[in-house]
Amino acid sequence: MAVQRVLAPAAEEQRPDMENALIIFVKNLQMGKVKTRLAATVGEEKAYAIYSYLLKYTYRTAERVNADKYVFYSDFIPEQDLHRFSSQLQSGQDLGERMKNAFRQILDAGYKKAVIIGSDSLEITSKIVDQAFSALEESEVVIGPATDGGYYLLGMKFLHEELFEDIPWSSADVLKKTMRAVKLNGHTHTLLTELSDIDEEQDWLRFAANVEL
């Protein structure tokens, strides 16, 4: 059974200044519906276990970030999960619209800075996310580039809708097209350290020896 929750930080994380909000985009943990490219070579059970590990890593990382945290689920809000953060539901037809709507929801709530991350990287750290919030002191946009041509992090102080339009999502051109929109609209920006995502088996093999599922 799914539950609906209002936009408010978890009680133990409330901050009166509404300064920083971290948006965490996740897929609901369901067999056969997560890490499908990975599952094509390692099987659905292992892909499920890997994504479960990625979620736990992402939540542990987020716990140490100086921000209110909001987990946005792809399909439904579960009654229980692996975190104590506020739970929300993604809305929109594609990834761009879903991220745009999440940013709008958070910024309209009164937060001064919003940063979004996914749940695909074992290299992202709380220090990197905190650096993103710090970068927004001077820059209008902050981006964490991924080695596959996408990005693992995006941050802004005001909603820049053009960064979510006409982008070929899930392609190697996401970062290039996004940066083109940033520059065409004259937004000041900061690029963070390049990190890798885990989408296919060769990505996972770089970490597998040091991970116990």
129-168: pLDDT as tens digits: 999 999 999 999 999 999 999 999 999 999 999 999 999 9
pLDDT at 82: 86
Distance (Å, rounded) from C-alpha 187 to C-alpha 47? 38
For the chain, give the mean pLDDT.
92
Distance (Å, rounded) from C-alpha 156 to C-alpha 26? 20
Specify whether the CB–CB gap between 83 and 10 falls below 8 A. no
Which pairing describes strands 20-26 and 68-73: parallel, antiparallel, or unpaired?
A: parallel
- What is the total residue count of the chain? 213
Average pLDDT of 5-34? 78
Distance (Å, rounded) from C-alpha 126 to C-alpha 6? 26
The three-class DSSP label of residue 175 is helix
**The pTM is what?**
0.92
pLDDT at 9: 62
Angle at which helices 126-135 and 44-63 cross, to 10° = 60
State the burial class of residue 142 (Cβ atoms within 10 Å of its Cβ: 0-12, 13-18, 19+).
buried
Neighbour order of strands in the sheet with 68-73: 86-89, 68-73, 20-26, 113-117, 151-156, 141-145, 189-191
The CATH number fitting domain 17-203, selected from 3.20.20.210, 3.40.50.150, 3.40.50.720, 3.90.550.10: 3.90.550.10
Distance (Å, rounded) from C-alpha 119 to C-alpha 95? 14
Residue type present at position 201: E
Beta-bridged to residue 83, according to DSSP, are none
Beta-bridged to residue 151, according to DSSP, are 145
End-to-end CA distance of the chain: 27
pLDDT(5) > 90: no
pLDDT at 13: 53
